[in-house]
Amino acid sequence: MARKDLLDISSLTDEELMALLDNTVQMKDIFTRSVKKVPTLRGRTVLMLFYENSTRTSTSFEIAAKRLSADVTNFDIGSSSVKKGESIRETIETLEAMRCEYVVVRHPMAGFAKTLASMTGMSVINAGDGRHAHPTQALLDAHTVREAMNVTDLKGKRILIAGDIIHSRVARSTSTIFTRLGAEVAFMGPGSLLPKSEPFPQFTNYEDAMAWGPDVMYLLRVQMERQTAPLYPSNGEYHKLYGVTTERLREISDKGIFLMHPGPFNRGVEISDAAVCYERSLINTQVENGVAARMSVLYALKPEVASFHA
Ligand code: CP
Residue 287 CA to ligand 1 centre (angstroms):
9
| Residue 262 alpha carbon, nearest atom of ligand 1 | 1
Angle at 277 between CA 208 and CA 252, to 5 degrees: 20
Residue 31 is part of a domain; what is its CATH number? Answer: 3.40.50.1370
pLDDT digit string, tens, across residues 155-177: 999 999 999 999 999 999 999 99
Residue 32: pLDDT band by 50, 70, 90 thresholds?
A: confident
**d(CA 264, ligand 1 centre) in Å:** 6
Does 154 share its domain with 256?
yes
As a whole number of angstroms, the distance between CA 152 and CA 10 comes to 19
Top-confidence residue, 94 or 25? 25
Please tell me whether residues 171 and 266 are part of one structural domain: yes
- Prior bond to 264 cis, omega within 30? yes
Within 10 Å of residue 274's Cβ, how many Cβ atoms?
16
pLDDT given for residue 102 in this prediction = 97
Count of other CB atoms within 10 angstroms of residue 292: 26
Residue 260: C-alpha distances to residues 55, 219, 250 (Å): 17, 6, 16
Same domain, 199 and 125: no
Q: Specify burial of residue 150 (Cβ count, 10 A radius: 0-12, 13-18, 19+).
A: exposed
Please name the amino acid found at residue 42: R
Decide if pLDDT at 74 tops 90.
yes
Residue 158 and residue 21 in one domain: no
Q: Give all strands (DSSP E) within 42-101, no chain letters.
A: 45-50, 71-75
Q: From the CA of 263, give the closest atom in ligand 1.
A: 1
pLDDT at 115 over 80: yes
Do 155 and 107 share a structural domain? no
Cα of 77 from ligand 1 centre, angstroms:
18
Give alpha helix (H) positions in 98-128.
Answer: 112-117
pLDDT at site 229: 64
pLDDT tens digit sequence for 178-235: 999 999 999 999 999 999 887 899 999 999 999 999 999 999 988 766 666 667 778 8
Query: 230 and 244 share a domain?
Result: yes
Answer yes or no: do 206 and 128 share one domain.
Answer: no
Pocket test for ligand 1, best of 51, 55, 285 (most atoms within 8 A of CB): 55
Can you tell me the distance from the alpha carbon of 103 to that of 80, in angstroms, rounded to the nearest whole number?
16
- Within 10 Å of residue 204's Cβ, how many Cβ atoms? 16
- Binned at pLDDT 50, 70 and 90, residue 290 comes out as very high
- Residue 38 belongs to a domain: yes
pLDDT for 228 equals: 65
Q: What is the extent of the structural domain holding 223?
A: 135-282
Whether the per-residue pLDDT at 309 is higher than 80: the answer is no
Task: Say yes or no: 165 and 116 in one domain.
Answer: no
- The model carries a pTM of 0.95
In this structure, the answer to whether residues 61 and 92 fall within a common structural domain is yes
Instruction: Give residue 272's pLDDT.
Output: 93
Running DSSP on this structure, what letter comes out for residue 100?
A: -
The reported pLDDT for the residue numbered 234 is 82
Res. 114: pLDDT tops 70: yes
Q: What percent of the chain has pLDDT over 90?
A: 80
Pairing of strands 184-188, 202-203: parallel
Q: Whose CA is nearest to atom 4 of ligand 1?
A: 56
Ligand 1, residues at Cβ distance < 6 Å: 54-57, 128, 137, 262-264
d(CA 310, ligand 1 centre) in Å: 35
In the predicted model, what is the mean pLDDT of residues 25-34?
Answer: 91
- The answer to whether residues 78 and 129 belong to one domain is yes
Q: How many CA atoms, within 13 angstroms, populate the side-chain half-sphere of residue 39? A: 1
Query: Which residue in 218, 253, 271, 295 sits closest to 28, CA to CA?
Result: 295
Decide if pLDDT at 300 tops 90.
yes
Q: What is the mean pLDDT of residues 246-263?
A: 96
